Amino acid sequence: MAVFQAALVNEVEKLYKKKKALIAVLLSLAVIVIGQLAIVGVRSGFGLRGAGSVEFPMLVLAVVVNTILPLFTALVAIDSFSGEFSQNSMRITLTRPVSRFKIFCAKIMAIVLFILAMLLLLLILSMLVGVIFNTNSGTLHSFVMTIFSYLVSLLPMVVLALGIVLLANLIKSGISVFFVSILVFIVLKVLGLIFSQYSSLFMTTQLDWYNLFLINSFPVGKIVRQFLIMLGSGIMLFTAGFYLFDKKEF
């Protein structure tokens, strides 16, 4: 376990020393500021309320889970694998007395931590902005639901990251992985719209699964099914990704 911990610390350090993490933070901030400005504009221009203090974090979540969050997850995941393959720094990582499985796990864990950190950052910032700029106050229940929605969004995002990791181990060039990921993302989004009755099977519609938790009647069956689909595809993607990573020669 100590070995894994060391590998994880190593990966996290690599991650946050890179500028990408900083850009991600700045961009998240920008999204929140622009979002709030748009709401103020709508409010004074059209006389609409836009979003209240509780709705604002939900609005931010709805936007980021489909845009910048997958984008940065892709960047970080690609960087962690393809980047190291191409710079040959993967060799250095692998010369350490740590098994490939542990290194693979540590890398995935670092990506998971990155996504979690992004979600928490977005949650705190949007809540602050929401409370400062939007007058009407929400109930404790909606406050808890907001935090919960952000937390459950971690799961589909991790599945997405695992998919990108698989691609990164499959395709050599990092840029190709990035473009293929974006293409697949868009194709899945469109398919989800066209075949809306099967949309729960698509990775991209699962990004919105936090909505299920907001339903008053709490559709347990649906939530469990969605969870199992994500779990299953997560296991599949993880195994396939590790299989490729394990076989790779450097």
Name the site residues for another protein (rule: CB under 8 A).
Answer: 42-43, 46-52, 54-55, 58-59, 62, 138, 142, 145-146, 193-194, 196-201, 205, 208-209, 211-212, 214-217, 219, 221-222, 225-226, 228-229, 231-240, 242-243, 246
Task: Show the tokens assigned to 118.
Answer: 């992004």
- In the bound complex, what is the minimum distance in angstroms from residue 12's beta carbon to another protein? 25
Residue 64 vs 76, nearer CB to another protein: 64
| Nearer CB in complex with another protein: 166/168 | 166
Shortest Å, Cβ 131 to another protein: 14
Classify the C-alpha dihedral 76-82-86-87 as positive or negative: positive
Nearer to another protein, 66 or 173 (CB): 66
Question: Rounded to an integer, what distance in angstroms lies between the CA atom of residue 208 and that of residue 198?
Answer: 14
Measured from the CB atom, the residue of 225 and 248 that comes closer to another protein is: 225
C-beta closer to another protein: residue 6 or 63: 63
Spatial separation of the C-alpha atoms in residues 130 and 25, rounded to whole Å:
18
State how far the Cα of 7 lies from the Cα of 93, in Å rounded to an integer.
Answer: 9
- CA atoms 28, 31, 33, 36: torsion sign: negative
CB of 212 to another protein, least distance (A): 6
Residue 178 CB, nearest distance to another protein (Å)? 25
- Name which of 118, 122, 93, 116 is nearest 106 in CA terms: 93
Distances in Å between the alpha carbon of 183 and those of 159, 179, 204? 17, 6, 12
8 A C-beta contact, residue 129 and residue 56: yes
Select 23 or 193, whichever has its Cβ closest to another protein: 193
Minimum distance between the CB of residue 187 and another protein, rounded to whole angstroms?
Answer: 16
Q: CB of 77: closest distance to another protein in angstroms?
A: 19
- DSSP state string for 80-115: IIIIHHHHTHHHHHHHSS--HHHHHHHHHHHHHHHH
- Closer of 23 and 231 to another protein (Cβ): 231
CA 42 from centre of chain:
29
Least CB distance from residue 250 to another protein, whole Å?
A: 18
